[in-house]
């Protein structure tokens, strides 16, 4: 298919109070990321036998770690996407403020419910676990945790609705935001740049996911306080995993806008909005909405056709956006003559982490493998891979970019990025190797023969945390200068 449009090099974006909110989002993201990493480190130390943690506390920490990482991934993704999308459409910054306030309220509720109330039902809150604690937590703790999730979800839904409104006003509809008038009608007018295409996809997939998540939370709350109101377990599990799978995937689709925007700045080459690019994003939009059943392959009561969809599209969905983004990035970098520094290397690592991290996910989505390895360390291995080496380098690159201002001249630091990659690969490899050895997931106490994976992972995690602290501290120290740039 022929090229549809070549975007101009992006210009300066997000000024004034919107810059203030984006900076606040990003500062919060960095601080919470470090806290969640430290919780993860403590849990790995406990599994290594190097630190004693009471099992009840371990599961409270696991719940906070999982919930916190998903929530902060969404908050950071919104910051990145909002910053760059604001160059193309008009956004109401009051929505950023409302979402941030709701996020803080939800976080306080969850922390109180988990660490004070003792809730340890994991971030997936699978029915009927919140109501069946075996005496480990009271009803109010489960209710407060679920209510905290609901409040955070409402804030994110408001953001999605605002992004959708702005794209509809600016481009004439969500279909035009995805470039369908270019893809199917051959129009060359008002061609959306990559950031708008990605943002439109996020709106389309995240909005129904948030509604499904809210429905599952409301049903769980009703059942919690009125136990006679029964819920169909298979229905609510579908709602929860449709919500969970979609939102955590959407976070990386939000953050990938930093690649679309910064690589052209670094190389001086525009990112092409081609028909192939538009087709890839359209296909991924559809498939992200329907592939979640690969989380339910072991649920024998699921209709057979849903299992087929989950398996087949788990393979196919890995290719469209990843290929056009990965190959697009390589095409822009090829013979560009750039000097590799911290910013450029982090962007390249993020592409590698995203693309390579999908491989163990697809392996687990194969029924023959899933039946053996789904409840092993393989599963946290695959999502730590594409979050730690895909999503987080995008966040760090954005932080470094804001800390430097609009200046993209190389300034060194690439060795730190490479070290982050090596520590991250070692850390995730221990999860995957543990899964290969059938080490179970979610166990607070490990057998001695499993601890070799835990101990290597603990050391690697410490290295990741040190480097992440450097990246985040660099950004935090530059906040006064960042705000003056606006």
Q: What is the pLDDT of residue 11?
A: 47
pLDDT band at 408 (very low <50, low <70, confident <90, very high): low
Least confident of 32-41, 115-124, 249-258, 330-339: 330-339
HSE (side-chain half, CA atoms, 13 Å) at 152? 24
Tell me which residue range forms the domain holding 394: 5-485
pLDDT band at 412 (very low <50, low <70, confident <90, very high): low
153, 208 in Cβ contact below 8 A? no
Rounded distance, CA 56 to CA 444, Å? 9
Name the domain count of the chain.
1
pLDDT band at 56 (very low <50, low <70, confident <90, very high): very high
Least confident of 76-85, 332-341, 397-406: 332-341
- 173 Ramachandran zone, left/alpha/beta (phi>0; psi -120 to 50): left
Q: Is the dihedral of CA 12, 18, 20, 21 positive or negative?
A: negative
425, 381 in Cβ contact below 8 A? no
Which of 108, 114, 183 shows the shortest CA–CA distance to 152?
Answer: 108
Residue 22 three-state SS:
helix
Rounded distance, CA 147 to CA 239, Å? 17
Q: Mean pLDDT for the chain?
A: 89
pLDDT per position as a tens digit, 187-206: 888 889 999 999 999 999 99
Retrieve residue 180's tokens: 């369908």
What CATH number is associated with residue 442? 1.20.210.10
Which of 142, 139, 143, 140 shows the shortest CA–CA distance to 119?
Answer: 142
Q: What is the pLDDT of residue 68?
A: 94
Residue 6 three-state SS:
strand
Rounded distance, CA 482 to CA 486, Å? 7
pLDDT per position as a tens digit, 147-203: 999 999 999 999 999 999 999 999 999 999 999 999 998 888 888 999 999 999 999
Q: What is the pLDDT of residue 324?
A: 79
pLDDT band at 77 (very low <50, low <70, confident <90, very high): very high
Retrieve residue 278's tokens: 């538009």
Average pLDDT over residues 219-225: 93
Q: What is the pLDDT of residue 359?
A: 84
pLDDT per position as a tens digit, 440-461: 998 999 999 999 999 999 999 9
Whether 226 shows a pLDDT value over 70: the answer reads: yes
pLDDT per position as a tens digit, 299-309: 888 888 888 88
Which pairs count as long-range contacts for 366-375, CB under 8 Å and 24+ apart, including other chains?
Answer: 366/311, 367/297, 367/307, 367/311, 370/294, 370/297, 370/298, 371/297, 371/298, 372/438, 373/435, 373/436, 373/438, 374/297, 374/298, 375/440, 375/441, 375/442
pLDDT per position as a tens digit, 387-407: 999 999 999 999 999 988 766
Rounded distance, CA 413 to CA 258, Å? 19
Q: What is the pLDDT of residue 306?
A: 85
Considering 151-155, 372-376, 381-385, the range whose residues carry the highest mean pLDDT is 151-155
pLDDT band at 368 (very low <50, low <70, confident <90, very high): confident
49 by Cβ neighbours in 10 Å (0-12 / 13-18 / 19+) ranks as middle
Whether 337 shows a pLDDT value over 80: the answer reads: no
Residue 1 three-state SS:
coil
**Do you find a cis peptide bond into 128, omega within 30 degrees of 0?**
yes
Residue 192 three-state SS:
coil
Average pLDDT over residues 29-48: 96
146, 221 in Cβ contact below 8 A? yes
pLDDT per position as a tens digit, 271-306: 888 888 899 999 989 988 888 888 888 888 888 888
pLDDT band at 4 (very low <50, low <70, confident <90, very high): very low
Q: What is the pLDDT of residue 16?
A: 55
pLDDT per position as a tens digit, 85-123: 999 999 999 999 999 999 999 999 999 999 999 999 888
214, 242 in Cβ contact below 8 A? no
């Amino acid at each position: 298919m022929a090229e549809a449009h070549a975007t101009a090099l992006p210009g300066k974006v997000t000024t004034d109070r919107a810059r203030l909110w984006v900076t606040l989002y990003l500062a919060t993201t960095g601080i919470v990321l470090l806290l969640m990493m430290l919780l993860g480190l403590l849990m790995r130390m406990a599994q290594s036998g190097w630190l004693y943690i009471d099992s009840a506390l371990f599961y409270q920490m696991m719940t906070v770690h999982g919930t916190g990482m998903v929530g902060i991934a969404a908050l950071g993704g919104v910051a990145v996407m909002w910053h760059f999308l604001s160059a193309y459409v008009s956004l109401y910054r009051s929505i950023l403020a409302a979402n941030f306030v709701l996020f803080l309220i939800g976080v306080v509720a969850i922390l109180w419910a988990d660490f004070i109330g003792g809730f340890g039902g994991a971030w997936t809150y699978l029915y009927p676990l919140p109501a069946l604690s075996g005496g480990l937590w009271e009803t109010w703790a489960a209710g407060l945790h679920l209510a905290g999730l609901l409040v955070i979800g409402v804030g994110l839904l408001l953001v999605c609705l605002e992004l959708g409104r702005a794209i509809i006003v600016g481009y004439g509809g969500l279909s035009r935001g995805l470039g369908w008038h270019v893809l199917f009608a051959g129009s060359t007018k008002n061609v959306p740049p990559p950031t708008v295409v990605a943002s439109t996809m996020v709106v389309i997939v995240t909005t129904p996911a948030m509604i499904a998540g809210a429905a599952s939370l409301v049903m769980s709350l009703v059942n919690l306080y009125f136990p006679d109101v029964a819920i169909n377990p298979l229905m609510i599990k579908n709602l929860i995993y449709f919500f969970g799978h979609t939102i955590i995937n959407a976070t990386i689709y939000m953050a990938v806008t930093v690649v679309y925007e910064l690589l052209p700045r670094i190389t001086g080459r525009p990112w092409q909005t081609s028909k192939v690019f538009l087709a890839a994003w359209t296909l991924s939009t559809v498939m992200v909405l329907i592939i979640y059943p690969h989380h339910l392959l072991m649920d024998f009561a699921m209709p057979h056709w849903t299992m087929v969809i989950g398996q087949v599209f788990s393979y196919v969905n890995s290719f469209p956006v990843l290929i056009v983004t990965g190959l697009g990035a390589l095409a822009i970098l090829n013979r560009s003559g750039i000097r590799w520094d911290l910013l450029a290397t982090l962007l390249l690592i993020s592409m590698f982490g995203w693309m390579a991290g999908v491989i163990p996910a697809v392996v687990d989505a194969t029924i023959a493998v899933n039946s053996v390895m789904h409840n092993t360390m393989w599963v946290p291995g695959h999502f730590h891979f594409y979050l730690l080496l895909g999503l987080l380098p995008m966040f760090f690159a954005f932080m470094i970019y804001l800390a430097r201002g609009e200046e993209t001249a190389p300034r060194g630091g690439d060795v730190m990025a490479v070290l982050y990659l090596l520590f991250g690969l070692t850390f995730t490899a221990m999860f995957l190797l543990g899964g290969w050895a059938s080490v179970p997931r979610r166990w607070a106490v490990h057998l001695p023969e499993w601890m070799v994976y835990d101990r290597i992972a603990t050391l690697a995690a410490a290295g990741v945390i040190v480097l992440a602290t450097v990246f985040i501290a660099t950004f935090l120290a530059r906040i006064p200068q960042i705000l003056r740039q606006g």
